[in-house]
Amino acid sequence: MADSAPRFHFNTEVRVRLPETDAMGVVFHGNYFTFLEVGRVDYLRNLGLSEGIRPIRDFENVVVSAHLDFKSPARLDDVLLIDVSTREIRRSSFVFDFRIRHKKENRIVAAGYTVHCAIDEEFRPTAVPDDFRRVIAAFEGWK
């Protein structure tokens, strides 16, 4: 497992599109969760853990918690960097940390995390596979 301070070894970028903004011209708060999903899927794809349309090829999972703190606004055409790391993997759950930065200004736009639970066919918690753990641990530099 990792310590509590997020260290980011991966990022991907998104450009804010018009339908993602609200009447004030800033990104609508709910759209940030889509940005987190883009970051998470790109992170998993980068690690070879995805396959086809499945973000994680070896097991199913569901989001059981999502939290985001908004720090500064993002607007139409801003390029945002989505930093992603895995904070920890427990028996059946795992936590991704996120930081969204404005690329040109390198300011924090938002920061948060999502908690996922590995599930079986009946949507019951199941153990996170060892291969997933090994790949994440190697990438994140856990000892």
Per-residue pLDDT of the chain (143 residues; tens, 9 = 90+): 444 567 999 999 999 999 999 999 999 999 999 999 999 999 999 999 999 889 999 999 999 999 999 999 999 999 999 999 999 999 999 999 999 999 999 999 999 999 999 999 999 999 999 999 999 999 999 97
Kindly state whether residue 2 falls inside one of the protein's structural domains. Answer: no
The residues, ordered by sequence, that sit 6+ positions from 124 with a Cβ below 8 Å of its Cβ are none
Phi then psi for 86, rounded to 5 degrees?
A: -100, 125
pLDDT of residue 4: 56
Boundaries of domain holding 93: 10-140
- Does 4 fall in a domain? no
Contacts of 49 (CB under 8 A, 6+ apart): 55, 56, 57, 58, 132, 135
Nearest-angstrom CA–CA distance, 26 and 3 = 34
Q: Which two tokens stand for residue 128?
A: 């996170």
Q: How many domains does the chain have?
A: 1
Predicted pLDDT of residue 2: 46
For 5, which DSSP code? S
Task: Identify how many contiguous H helices and E strands the chain contains and give both numbers.
Answer: 2, 5
pTM of the shown model: 0.93
| Residue 119 located in a structural domain | yes
Residue 98 is predicted with a pLDDT of 98
| CATH number assigned to the domain comprising residue 29 | 3.10.129.10
Task: Give buried/exposed letters for 108-128 (b at 16+ CB in 10 A, else e).
Answer: ebbbbbbbbbbbeeeeeebeb
Q: Are 81 and 105 in contact (CB under 8 A)?
A: no
